[in-house]
Amino acid sequence: MTTDVDVLIIGAGASGAALAWSLAETRMRILCLEQGDWVNPADYPSTRRDWEVRMDREFSPNPNVRRRPEDYPINDDDSPISVVNFNGVGGSTILYAAHFPRPHPSDFRVRSLDGVADDWPINYASLEPFYALNDRQMGVAGLAGDPACPPHEPPLPPVPLGLAGETMARGFNALGWHWWPSDTAIATQEYEGRAACVNLGPCKAGCAQGAKGSADITYWPVARRAGVQLRTRCRVREILVDDNDMATGVVYYDERGVEHLQRAEVVVLACNGVGTPRLLLNSRSARFPDGLANRSGLVGKNLMIHPWGMVRGAFDAPLDSHRGPLSCCILSQQFYETDRSRGFVRGYNMQITRGLGPVATARMGVARGDIPWGEGHHEAFARRFGRSIGVGICCEDLPEECNMVTLDPTLTDSNGIPAPKITYRLSENTERMLRHGLERGTEVMKAAGAWDAYGEGPVRQTGWHLLGTARMGEDPERSVVNGWGRSHDVKNLFIVDGSVFVTSGGVNPTPTIQAVALYIADAMKQRLANLFD
């Protein structure tokens, strides 16, 4: 038996780290259990010559490819999109692009404004102070004044546009469309002990420079200095409850596979939109035969994943496009807000990405037939390498109960814990939105001067944004947690990750995941005397 704690957080990623940091000032005994390990920045691919190959292997975002001991497999056979993540201190921020756009106020009022899905029980204004706080903690770079977003002041200047960004900016201007330098969690100057970005390129394989704001180097060092305990390589099997429907603690396995019981007064789930429902569904008991905190039947339902389109263009002029933060440059929200004349509701964000490295350029070109074997190989490669740009189309998908996380009947992790199964398909609305985005992405590529442009989607290896599987709301019949993250069914159980999203917006969700975690932490602090009432 281990020492009892006041607050037990499961998961040391974006949301768990933010919540731990915020609660540290209460001086409660706080423990975080993380199934992964610390990552040594010296091990990141960009420190080695074979960085492009290592990105696809031991640092692959797909746990089914990466297959580290701390990873759990995910059955994604029934989905056109694979779930991608990272299990370790910092969670998926280790491998995320650090593209950090804020959502719009309308993203929280989808039912009221557009007549679809549901409104959130909280709104942009209530989260705004926590977006700002999180921007400072993560070290966000950007440019104030974006007319597509409520006013805010990123603490650091934006990442460089580069010739690629400038080229696309001229294309957007030619069409009269919105664009703006992206908010990014990248230190463009020395910031809070972090070195400034030196444009290594592969942010999505971890940042050896330490310029990218991943939660292991932003929130965690401060939270640990303030007394929060973080225990790695501890995989939780189930959450326990008593006869009063109160969580009493968890059962977990350590690195050697030894089983432990950890008691706690409060349990907080921060395992992302797949890991959290998996753990709840694995926590069955006589009082919760369908999974813990699942009397609504909605745990695991309404999975939203942001189907992703990608348009790639090649240009005549050398653009040095293979240099600079790969997925952070500029964005366009021209087609973000609802316009029913487009044939769909809601919208998408266009995220300009830079070019690929030489290995990826050659492999993709040969696989597509753009770069031949033999004669003409070098000329075709030269026409694309350093001269290519991407437009990512991040589509808002709406909550549907048929899109879900369940437990696979046979697949397990290395501790024998049932693994998650994903069942997902694109709705007709999302299909139309994606087609529109691919067409508009191709249009702006051509307006920018591309001699070749092609689009594809949904792109399979893009299931980063795992949302909606334990949604928040005031009605216990229609939601899993209340408006400040507390389970309707288990009064000392909180969920703070992307599972609680009611709708998904059309932007990368980490700023909102962390703002919601900070908001919930603040709500807990304000209610400490009667937290379980």
Distances in Å between the Cα of 87 and the Cα atoms of 181, 235, 307 are 30, 11, 22
CB of 171 vs another protein, minimal distance in Å: 11
Contact yes or no for 31/231 (Cβ under 8 A): yes
Q: Give the count of beta carbons closer than 10 Å to the beta carbon of residue 54.
A: 19
CB of 53 vs another protein, minimal distance in Å: 5
User: Residue 385 or 464: which CB sits closer to another protein?
Assistant: 385
16 closest CA partner among 197, 206, 236: 236
User: Residue 449 or 476: which CB sits closer to another protein?
Assistant: 449
CB of 110 vs another protein, minimal distance in Å: 9
User: Residue 238 or 337: which CB sits closer to another protein?
Assistant: 337
User: Residue 264 or 444: which CB sits closer to another protein?
Assistant: 444
User: Residue 166 or 431: which CB sits closer to another protein?
Assistant: 166
Distances in Å between the Cα of 112 and the Cα atoms of 107, 109, 117, 481 are 10, 5, 9, 21
User: Residue 129 or 297: which CB sits closer to another protein?
Assistant: 129
Q: What are the beta bridge partners of residue 353?
A: 390
User: Residue 129 or 358: which CB sits closer to another protein?
Assistant: 358
CB of 310 vs another protein, minimal distance in Å: 19
CB of 323 vs another protein, minimal distance in Å: 4
Query: Using CA atoms, how far apart are residues 121 and 472, in angstroms rounded to an integer?
Result: 7
- Residues at the interface with another protein (CB under 8 A): 44, 46-53, 104-106, 108-109, 112-113, 123-124, 143, 145, 147-150, 160-163, 165-166, 169-170, 172-173, 176, 178-181, 197-202, 208-209, 320, 323-324, 333-334, 336-337, 357-359, 361-363, 366-367, 373-375, 377-378, 385
231 closest CA partner among 16, 518, 48, 71: 16
User: Residue 256 or 340: which CB sits closer to another protein?
Assistant: 340
CB of 483 vs another protein, minimal distance in Å: 15
Q: Which residues contact 494 (CB under 8 A, 6 or more apart)?
A: 266, 267, 268, 269, 481, 485, 486, 487, 520, 524
CA atoms within 13 A on the CB side of 361: 22
CB of 324 vs another protein, minimal distance in Å: 4
Distances in Å between the Cα of 215 and the Cα atoms of 47, 138, 178 are 20, 8, 31
420 closest CA partner among 409, 430, 406: 406
Strands 330-332 and 180-181: antiparallel
Radius of gyration of the chain (CA): 22
